[in-house]
Structure 1
Amino acid sequence: MQSADIMEENRDDCQEVTFLSALQHKYSDEDYRVLFAGLLCQERERERQRQQQQQEQENQPYSSGAGRGFACPPYVVLQNFGINRLGGVEELSRCCVHLREIDLSFNRLGKWSEIRPLLHHTHHLESLNLSFNPLDGLQVTDVRGAGGEGCPLCPLQAANCRHDPRPTPPALRRLILNGSRIEARVALALLDSLPHVEELHLSLNEYASFVDADSERAPHSRQHALKELHIDSNQLASWRELLRIGRTFPGLQTLFASHNPLNDLQDMETEALRDSLPSVSKLHLNHTELSSWPALDQLQHLPSLTDLRLLNTPLWTDSPLTGSSALFPPSKSAPFSPTLTTRQHVLARLPALSSLNGTPVDAMERMDAERAFLRHFHGADVPPPCPRFTELLGRYGPLAPLLDVQLGAPEYVEVGLSYGSVQRRPFKVNVKQTVGQLRQELQKVAGMRCRVFYLDAVLAGVVGMEEMRGERRAVHSFNVRDGDEIILQPK
C-alpha cells in the first residue's frame, strides 16, 4: 500500500498512523525486498557476526534466528503518510538496526516525545528530515527534558522505565527542519542534545531574528559541531543576525542565506565581520538585497571566504557600467573601453575567491579581471574609493585601455566604379557577399546587364583586369582593397 492509500484512509487528524505501520506498508512489498536484498544481506551478516561475538563473550549459546523478520532498508522515504506516532520502541530498535537516513517530511509529528526515541534507538541514523511537520508547538523544556519530562529513550516517564537516564547521544549528522515553524531558540536547544549534528536546515521558517541577544550571551551546555547551516527563504533583514549566528556556531564553514532581504552589509564593522564568521568559506547570498560595491568590499574581511554566490542580487543583475550600481563610470577619454563584466568586477575586488556563482576561478581569469578593472577606471576624474584599486595599481601599474584592433578582413572597402562615361565613381563594396550578389547590385546601379572586371591598383600594369566569375565565389577572395577599381562592360 502506498502513501496515497494510507492518506486516503486517515484523513482525520485524530486517526493514529504510526511510523512503524507506514514503514511496513511501504517496504514489506516484494519489489523493495528484491531492490534491497543484497544490501540487507550484507548488513544482516555483519549484525549476525556482531551478535555472535557478543553472546560468546557472555557465554550464551548463539541463536541463528536472532534478528530475523522484517528489516527496513538503510534509506527510508515516508513523505505524506499522515504519521503522528512512532510505534513500539522495542520493535523500532529491532527492525531499524540498519537505518541511516529517514525522510519524514509532510507528516503530522508534532511532539518531541514521539521523535526522541527514533534518534536513540536507531544507532546508525545519520540524517533525519522532519520538514513541514507541525513543530511550532515545541518548547525548550520539551527538547531539553527538564522539569520531570519523560525518558529520552521512550515515551514513558523517567521513573517508570528501565533505561539508562544518561544514554549515549545520538550519532545524527544531518537534521532538516525546513518549513516546520520550529522556534529558533528551540532549534538551538535541540542542538545541545544532538552534539554530533554538522548540518542543519532551517529554511522557510519565517525567522526575522534567529538568535536573540539573551540566547547569544547565555552559555550552551555543549560545544556545537555545526559546520553547515541553511536559513534560506526566511525574513532576515540585517547582517547582525548572520554575525550572531557566526558567534553562536564558531566552527561554521558553510552558510546558505539566500532569499533573505539582507540589506545593510555596508554598515557592518570590519572587526565584527572578521571575528564573527572566521571559518565561513562558502556563502550563498542569491536573491538578497546586496546592491552596492562598497557593501561587496566588506566581504574581503571574511578571512576564510573562497566560494560566493550572488545571483539575482541588485548588484549582479544591474550592469556595473549602465545600471544603478554604476558608481564609478569609466574614463571618457579612452580610445576604446571594453565592457567590464560584473563577474570581472567581483573577482577584482575579492581576490581570495576560488569559485563564483558555482564556476571555478583560475589564475588566468583572475589576472584578466584585475587588469580589466584597472583599465576600466584609467583616467577617471575620481578613482574608486576601493582598497583593491590602490593595491592593483601598485602591482600592475597604470594600464591604459586596449585599442580596438581589427585583425580580420574588413567588411567594406572603397573602390572606384567605372562604366560607360562614368570614371572611378566612389563606391563601397561589401566583400563578404558573393560575386553573383555584387553583379546584381552593380546592374541596378548601371542600369544594364554587364560583365564585372576587377583591376588591382598596385598590379594594374602587370596583370591587367581580371573578370570576376563564379556566382557563388566570395568577393574577398579576389583580395579587393581600398583604392582598387571595378569596371563594368555591357554584354
Structure 2
Amino acid sequence: MPSLLEAIEQKYGISVAIFVPCKSPRMIVPSLLVLNDCDIATAGEKEALVAKCACVEELDLAKNKLNDWPEVFGILQQMPRLKFVNLSFNPLSTPLWQQLQNLVLNSTYIDWESVQQILDHLPGLEELHLSLNDYNNVNLCKIDYKKKHKHGGIRKLHFTGNPVNNWKEVCKLGYAFPKLESLVLAECPIESLDVNRNYERSESECESESPHDGFRMLKFLNLNSTRISTWDDIEKLAKFPTLHCVRIQGCPLWESNEYTEHERRQLLIARLPNVEILNGGGVIGADEREDAERAFIRYYMEKPESDRPERYSELVSIHGKLDPLVHIDLRPEKRVKVTFTCGSNREVRSVDVYRTVSDLKTKLEGFAGFSAAKMKLYYVDQDMDSPEEMKYPQKQLYSYNIRSGDEIIVDCK
C-alpha cells in the first residue's frame, strides 16, 4: 500500500528526486488535494511531504486504508494551512488513545465543547482532572443533561478551585458521568446542596429534584474549603445512596467557636450514618459512632424542640432518652491538711498541692529550725508504711497524690 507521498507522486507524475527549476516544490501540489481510493495507509517521508503540501488547504483522503490516528495526525501536521479534511471510509474505528485512563487538564481553561470532543475519543478514560479552569457552570450535555449519559467510564473527577457555586450545576457532572465514584470539589464556592436554590420551578419539578439524584454511585466526596454553612446541607449527604467517605473541613460552618474539634466530629458522625471515613483517617468504629450518637442526643435534648433536627428522633428511637451527664471535677484538691513532723515537733498545716517541693522547704525553715538547703523531706501516705523521699525540687506536691491526713517528715541532711 502506498504512502501519501507516493500517491502524490503517482497522481502528479513528479518524483521527489526530480528537480523542477521553473516551479518551487511547494507549488507542485494544488491547494485542493484529492486522493480518493488510493490505498493510502501511511504518511511517507515527512520532510518531502511538508515541501510538497505546505500550501494545501483542503484534503480529501476518503476511501483509503488509514487505520492509525497517529499516522493521520502526522499527515495533518505537515499541512499548516489545512482548513478541511475528509477521512470518510477509512478504517479508523479504533479511537485514539483507547488505553488512556487518566487525563489531567488542570488550569488549561479548556472549554466544555473541547472537553466533550476529547472525551468522545477516550472510551477507556477513568480519571479526569478539570481543576482551576474557571468553570462557573457545567455544559457537557447540551440536549438533556439527565438522560444523555455518554461517559460511563469516568470513575474519578477532580474539579478543585472552579468558581461554580450552585449544586444544580454540580449535579450535571453526575449525570454526565453516571458511574462517578469520586468527586473532588475542594475550594469551589458552593454555598448549599439545595438543587432548587435560586431556581423558579414548579412544585412537581421540585419534588423530583434531589442533591444526590445524579450521584447514585458516588463513594467519595471532598467539600473542603467550600462555603457550606448549615447543618441542613450536611444532613443531605446522608441521602447519597453509596457515599461512605467524606472530607469537609475549612467551611463557614466550622468558623463558630460553639464546638470543640471533638464535638464537631461527633455531630458530623451522628448525622451521617452512611459515612465510614470522615476527613481522612481510619474507619469510624462502632464504639466511636455510638458515643457520637449519644453525644448528639444529649446536645440537642437541651435545645428547644423546634431546633432539633430529624436525626434526633431517629437516634432517640435507637438509644432511648438519655440522662444528662454528671459533671465530675477530676482535678486534685487545691489545698490539703498534712501533718508535718520534725524530731519531736508535730504540726498540722494546710498546704497548696500546686506548690513545688522547693517552695515547701522554704516555707518550713521556721518550723524545722534550719535552712532549706539542709532539709530533706519524706512523704508518708496514710495507707502505706514506708516513707518516700521527695527528691525533686521542682516536682509539684499533687504529683505525689497527697491527701488530707498524710504526713511529711522533715529531716536534716
Instruction: Compare the two structures and name the one with the higher helix fraction.
Output: 1
Task: Report deviation, 1:204.
Answer: 0.9
> 2:43 and 2:307 mapped to 1: Cα distance?
66
Q: Give 1:7-156 correspondences, 5 Å limit.
A: 120-121=69-70, 154-155=75-76
SS at match of 1:341: helix
SS at match of 1:377: helix
Closer, same or farther: CA 180–349 of 1 in aligned 2, 3 Å: same
Aligned to 1:257: 185
> 1:403 and 1:393 mapped to 2: Cα distance?
20
> 2:387 and 2:212 mapped to 1: Cα distance?
76
Closer, same or farther: CA 490–226 of 1 in aligned 2, 3 Å: closer
Q: Give 1:308-387 correspondences, 5 Å limit.
A: 308-321=246-259, 341-360=263-282, 361-382=284-305, 384-387=307-310
SS at match of 1:229: strand
Counterpart residue type for residue 170 of structure 1: W
Task: Report deviation, 1:256.
Answer: 1.0
Task: Report deviation, 1:403.
Answer: 3.1
Aligned to 2:3: none
Task: Report deviation, 1:415.
Answer: 0.8
Closer, same or farther: CA 431–235 of 1 in aligned 2, 3 Å: closer
SS at match of 2:313: helix
> 2:323 and 2:44 mapped to 1: Cα distance?
77
| Residue 472 (1) aligns with residue 392 (2) | yes
Task: Report deviation, 1:484.
Answer: 5.1
* CA deviation string 1:234-271 (max 9, x = no partner): 11011111112212221111111111100022465684
- Indicate the percent of aligned positions where both proteins have the same amino acid: 28
Counterpart residue type for residue 231 of structure 1: F
Aligned to 2:242: 304
SS at match of 1:368: helix
Task: Report deviation, 1:200.
Answer: 1.2
CA contact (8 A) 2:297 2:312 kept: yes
Task: Report deviation, 1:452.
Answer: 8.4
CA contact (8 A) 1:263 1:290 kept: yes
Closer, same or farther: CA 158–381 of 1 in aligned 2, 3 Å: closer
Aligned to 1:279: 217
Closer, same or farther: CA 295–428 of 1 in aligned 2, 3 Å: same
> 1:478 and 1:159 mapped to 2: Cα distance?
92
| Residue 439 (1) aligns with residue 322 (2) | no
Task: Report deviation, 1:185.
Answer: 2.8
Task: Report deviation, 1:196.
Answer: 2.2
2:323 to 395, 400, 410: 400
Counterpart residue type for residue 291 of structure 2: D
Task: Report deviation, 1:276.
Answer: 1.8
Aligned to 2:138: 210
SS at match of 2:157: strand
Q: Give 1:190-269 correspondences, 5 Å limit.
A: 190-211=118-139, 214-217=142-145, 220=148, 222-266=150-194, 268=196
SS at match of 2:221: strand
Aligned to 2:350: 427
* CA deviation string 1:179-234 (max 9, x = no partner): 11111232123212322222111111101111278444597594532221111111
| Residue 179 (1) aligns with residue 107 (2) | yes
Aligned to 1:54: none
CA contact (8 A) 2:376 2:410 kept: yes
Q: For structure 2, list consecutive stretches of 5 or more residues without a partner in the other structure.
A: 1-41, 47-65, 197-205
> 2:44 and 2:355 mapped to 1: Cα distance?
83
Q: In angstroms, what is the RMSD of aligned CA positions?
A: 4.3
> 2:221 and 2:90 mapped to 1: Cα distance?
43
CA contact (8 A) 1:192 1:220 kept: no
SS at match of 1:403: coil
Closer, same or farther: CA 406–454 of 1 in aligned 2, 3 Å: farther
The alignment of Structure 1 onto Structure 2 pairs a total of residues equal to 328
CA contact (8 A) 1:177 1:203 kept: yes
Closer, same or farther: CA 273–89 of 1 in aligned 2, 3 Å: farther
Closer, same or farther: CA 297–89 of 1 in aligned 2, 3 Å: farther
Q: For structure 1, list consecutive stretches of 5 or more residues without a partner in the other structure.
A: 1-87, 93-116, 123-150, 323-338
> 1:121 and 1:241 mapped to 2: Cα distance?
36
Task: Report deviation, 1:386.
Answer: 1.6
CA contact (8 A) 2:95 2:122 kept: no
Task: Report deviation, 1:159.
Answer: 4.4
TM-score (norm 2): 0.64
Task: Report deviation, 1:453.
Answer: 8.4
| Residue 391 (1) aligns with residue 311 (2) | no
> 1:260 and 1:159 mapped to 2: Cα distance?
42
Q: Larger Rg: 1 or 2?
A: 2
SS at match of 2:228: coil
